[in-house]
Amino acid sequence: MRKIVILLLYLSSFLSFSQMESGLRDTKKFGFWDNQNSEPVIILNDSTIYIGLEKSKLFFEPLDLDDSKLNELIPLTVKDTTYLVEQSGGVVVKYIDRTFTRIDKSFTHHNQYNSIPFVFNDEIYLLGGSGLFIHKNILIRYDFQEKEWFRTPTFGDIPNIIRGHYLHIKINNDLYLVASEGNSAYMEGVKDDSWFVYRMNLTSMNFFKLGRLNIELYNIARYTHRNLFTDKLISRTPTPYLNIYDFKNNNYATIDNNNIPVFREDTNIIHIEENTMLAIQQKRSIAKDNLYYKYFDSDIYIQNSEKHPIYIENNAVLYYNIGASLAIIILLLFLGHLLKKWHKNFNLVTLNTKTKTIKYKGNYITKFDGVELDLLIKIANTKGEYISYTELLDLFKPHSDSYETLRKKRKQLMRTLSEKFKGLLNNYHTDIFIYHSDPMDKRARLIKLNEDIIKIIS
């Protein structure tokens, strides 16, 4: 029985070690900024920390952290309070009043090594990682009331491999990340077409594949530091250069690392004030107590050098964007056409030949008498065609007036109608009637209603 127990313990240690190695854990960060006391904190081990820039040592009783180590937990900020989270899932520690308190009812999960920890809507999440030699693309959320972790559903173009040591950054309600739809978590120096840039919308937990990663040496896509104070990332390349990534605008620039205070892989930005960033780094020494503070100018993120796309957009995404843009343009043109048509119709006088009514801007107009309406309707019945001016004399029959008298009545009626319409429209430059010479008889006149002023409904 004893041999079996020893064998199981050995196997457990081997599995844990193998998973950490296969997961390629992040460079240890060791510290954070305490918002409550406005001071930096460096975690040396499970019972010792440095506080303040003067690095005053503070000792405390070690916590029961199951299989986790305090200086390997990931610091996250929720409502100005620091929480330290086991990256493989499980242990959650709260830091307040310079005291560490374990607040979860869980255990070290060993299930999501190298996950991506982030905070959204004051809740802590872990995305992806690996455990038990299996890629994990799951998302779990810590419930502060239940003090346990619960799985959160995700949707869309979910990648197969998600690791925290590759480029990722949270910008507002989106998480940008470099991930793979393949089966190997290792990026070699050569191109691997399975690696893409994704955007995860945190309000819907929906993944969108933005495009294929456009970096020649894929190993420079390794994530080297966390900086929650900017929308950009810095990655240390194998050469003395740094890459500055701007995922929001899909570009990156390369700068010479020799021209600035050396920015290393273990650089951990913990605070920014005005144009100065405070970082924790390790001395090139095998001593255990080899951590120190270093300042960087935040202007490092402002680059005017040549920019390159981080990813090449997928044809599907590109076509979707083009199609969506065209649809929006067509919709706007159609709405513009409808609005223009509505505006034009709204400003037209409407004549209903059946009900013998006139409306203007939604109101019935009663200033026209029966003879005037009859004349307008007689002309309107031609449906936009010209009518002989002489035919209008029929409106005055069977009167026994002379032809000359009828002509005078017609002239007076036309003048009255013109003046009424000009007054109604407040437009004294455009007439309700359009006159034209009869092509068959130049002496005769033709007439029709001006369709720019009046609309006929029959």
Domains of the chain: 1-152 (no CATH), 159-313 (no CATH), 347-457 (1.10.10.10)
Residue 19 has pLDDT above 90, yes or no: no
Q: What is the pLDDT of residue 337?
A: 84
Instruction: Work out the average pLDDT over 126-138.
Output: 92
224: nearest Cα among 187, 300, 169, 185 = 169
Q: Whole-structure pTM over 0.85, yes or no?
A: no
Instruction: Work out the average pLDDT over 243-249.
Output: 87
Amino acid (1-letter code) at residue 328:
I
Q: Which helix (H) or strand (E) holds 341?
A: helix 315-346
For the chain, state the CA radius of gyration: 39
Spatial neighbors of 63 by CB under 8 A, at least 6 apart, are 46, 70, 93, 100, 101, 102
Instruction: Work out the average pLDDT over 272-291.
Output: 76
pLDDT tens per residue across span 165-196: 888 899 999 999 999 888 876 655 455 678 89
Residue 55 has pLDDT above 80, yes or no: yes
Residue 147 has pLDDT above 60, yes or no: yes
Strand order in the sheet with 363-365: 363-365, 357-360, 349-352, 454-457
Give the number of other Cβ atoms within 10 Å of residue 416's Cβ: 15
Instruction: Work out the average pLDDT over 62-68.
Output: 95
Spatial neighbors of 360 by CB under 8 A, at least 6 apart, are 349, 350, 424, 425
Share of the chain above pLDDT 90, in %: 34
176 in Cβ contact with 204 (< 8 Å): no
User: What is d(CA 159, CA 179) in angstroms, rounded to the nearest whole number?
Assistant: 6
pLDDT tens per residue across span 302-315: 767 788 898 988 76
pLDDT tens per residue across span 418-435: 898 888 888 888 888 888
Angle at 31 between CA 25 and CA 37, to 5 degrees: 155
pLDDT tens per residue across span 310-367: 898 876 556 667 878 888 999 999 988 888 777 666 778 888 888 889 888 888 888 8
Residue 58 has pLDDT above 50, yes or no: yes
Residue 3 has pLDDT above 70, yes or no: no
Q: What is the pLDDT of residue 136?
A: 93
User: What is the DSSP code (8-state) at residue 231?
Assistant: S
Mean pLDDT, the chain, whole residue set: 82
Share of the chain above pLDDT 70, in %: 81
Amino acid (1-letter code) at residue 410:
R
Q: Specify burial of residue 385 (Cβ count, 10 A radius: 0-12, 13-18, 19+).
A: exposed
Residue whose tokens read 């605008």? 249
Q: Which helix (H) or strand (E) holds 31?
A: strand 31-34
pLDDT tens per residue across span 256-278: 766 666 777 677 888 888 778 88
Q: Under DSSP, is residue 17 helix (H, G, I), strand (E, B) or coil? A: helix
Confidence band (pLDDT; 50, 70, 90) for 281? confident
